[in-house]
């Protein structure tokens, strides 16, 4: 059975500290990816580097911080980046090498179910035809700050979208350590993680290099998204020939994030990771247990309070009394109806509030996000 592998490479691995592309590194990664492809895997590459590749070419002395300058640098850099990848993949093997295709995505694409389904079908067709899709954020049209967590989050969303066998996030660190090993030689690497706890999050550091925007924390957050979607994740180094194959085979230089969960269907993915919540519902301990352990629907009796304005059919977040997000669901009530019904038994709701159905959120329209 063909396995799909999503590999994410950040700016710091592809460019120099001063900006501009490092052609040797791009050639190295292209050959590592092409080797996986030739071994029978379906390979997708999520790449950063457009802004870093373009800012010197456009005339900026350092990586720009103003949005329109970043967008201009990305417009120049994206063309340079794809040209470099095409040349590198084209030089691998015989018969013109491995074909590649460019796909640019934004957060808005993921929040629109039709658009992301179209992207999914395009990716599947490219993989079927033996092409390596190269995916990046569409920086030149982004309306928010150009930061998709250094594309770490994007890679996790793509991994879930294609139901990948594994997500490989390449970084300049050989995995997650209890402390920064560059500052404390006694720091210990964590080889395997089964659940991302508060302790695991506390080990993650801050931002990365001057040409990138990500750090270990964004990679851990991405691993959590991927794991929740049923995709195991590797975070570590790929610096020598064969390292990527070792990472995929379970012998890589880094940390493996395992998951016992199964791939979420497309509807649940959209609901959990791509939708835009319009409000929040805070529930009591009993409702929390019913949602997380009993896999039940949310009833009015378990609601403590409502935040925001929403309407029936909108997506809302559900939080516990401590403010932790439990999950998301499609709500059957308007905000005022949910507030009026909060804490009431089903019989009282029938007498006092006119609603179409009793469940505030039906279990079929719910996805859990808490570990």
Binding positions for substrate are: 48, 139, 151
Annotated binding site: 8, 48, 139, 151, 171-172, 213-219
Strands (E), 224-360: 233-237, 253-257, 280-283, 303-307, 315-319, 325-331
**Whole-angstrom distance, CA of residue 75 vs CA of residue 363:** 44
Helix (H) or strand (E) holding 367: strand 361-368
Measured torsion, CA atoms of residues 152, 211, 103, 327, in degrees rounded to the nearest 10: 20
Structure tokens belonging to residue 227: 């794991």
**Could you give the angle at the alpha carbon of 161 between the alpha carbons of 328 and 359, nearest 5°?**
25
Structure tokens belonging to residue 83: 């040209």
Structure tokens belonging to residue 285: 């301990």
**Whole-angstrom distance, CA of residue 41 vs CA of residue 5:** 7
How many whole angstroms from its chain centre is CA 74?
A: 21
**Whole-angstrom distance, CA of residue 274 vs CA of residue 269:** 7
Annotated binding site for ATP: 8, 171-172, 213-219
In terms of Cβ atoms closer than 10 Å to its own Cβ (0-12, 13-18, 19+), residue 33 is buried
Ramachandran region, residue 49 (left: φ > 0; alpha: ψ -120 to 50; beta: rest): left
Contact status, residue 274 vs residue 157, Cβ threshold 8 Å: yes
Contact status, residue 256 vs residue 296, Cβ threshold 8 Å: no
**Whole-angstrom distance, CA of residue 14 vs CA of residue 295:** 45
Strands (E), 172-302: 176-177, 189-190, 192-193, 233-237, 253-257, 280-283
> What DSSP string runs through 24-79?
HHHHHHHHHHHHHHHTT-EEEEEE--HHHHHHHHHT-SS---SHHHHHHHHHHHHH
Contact status, residue 291 vs residue 313, Cβ threshold 8 Å: no
How many whole angstroms from its chain centre is CA 30?
A: 22
């Amino acid at each position: 059975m063909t396995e799909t592998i999503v590999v994410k490479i950040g700016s710091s691995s592809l460019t120099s500290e001063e900006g501009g592309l490092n052609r040797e590194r791009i050639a190295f990664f292209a050959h590592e990816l092409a080797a996986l492809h030739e071994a029978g895997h379906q390979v997708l590459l999520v790449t950063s580097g457009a802004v870093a590749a373009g800012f010197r070419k456009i005339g900026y002395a350092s990586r720009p911080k103003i949005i329109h300058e970043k967008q201009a640098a990305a417009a120049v850099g994206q063309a340079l980046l794809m040209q470099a990848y095409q040349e590198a993949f084209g030089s691998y093997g015989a018969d013109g090498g491995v074909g590649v295709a460019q796909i640019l995505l934004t957060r808005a694409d993921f929040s629109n179910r039709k658009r992301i389904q179209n992207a999914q079908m395009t990716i599947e067709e490219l993989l079927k035809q033996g092409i390596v899709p190269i995916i990046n954020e569409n920086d030149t049209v982004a309306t928010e700050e150009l930061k998709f967590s250094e594309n770490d989050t994007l890679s996790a969303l793509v991994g879930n979208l294609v139901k990948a066998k594994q997500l490989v996030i390449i970084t300049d660190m050989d995995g997650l350590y209890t402390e920064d090993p560059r500052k404390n030689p006694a720091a210990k690497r964590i080889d395997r993680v089964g659940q991302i706890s508060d302790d695991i999050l506390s080990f993650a550091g801050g931002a990365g290099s001057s040409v990138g925007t990500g750090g270990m924390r964004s990679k851990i957050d991405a691993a959590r998204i991927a794991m929740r979607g049923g995709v195991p994740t590797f975070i570590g180094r790929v610096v020598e020939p064969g390292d990527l194959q070792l990472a995929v085979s379970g012998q890589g230089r880094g940390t493996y994030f395992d998951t016992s969960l199964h791939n979420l269907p497309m509807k649940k993915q959209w609901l959990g990771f791509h939708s835009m919540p319009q409000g929040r519902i805070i529930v009591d301990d009993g409702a929390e247990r019913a949602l997380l352990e009993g896999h039940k629907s949310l009833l009015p009796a378990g609601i403590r309070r409502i935040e925001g304005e929403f309407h029936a059919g909108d997506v809302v977040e559900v939080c516990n009394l401590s403010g932790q997000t439990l999950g998301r669901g499609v709500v059957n009530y308007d905000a005022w109806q949910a507030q009026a019904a909060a804490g009431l038994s089903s019989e009282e709701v029938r007498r006092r509030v006119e609603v179409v159905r009793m469940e505030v959120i039906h279990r079929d329209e719910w996805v859990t996000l808490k570990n």
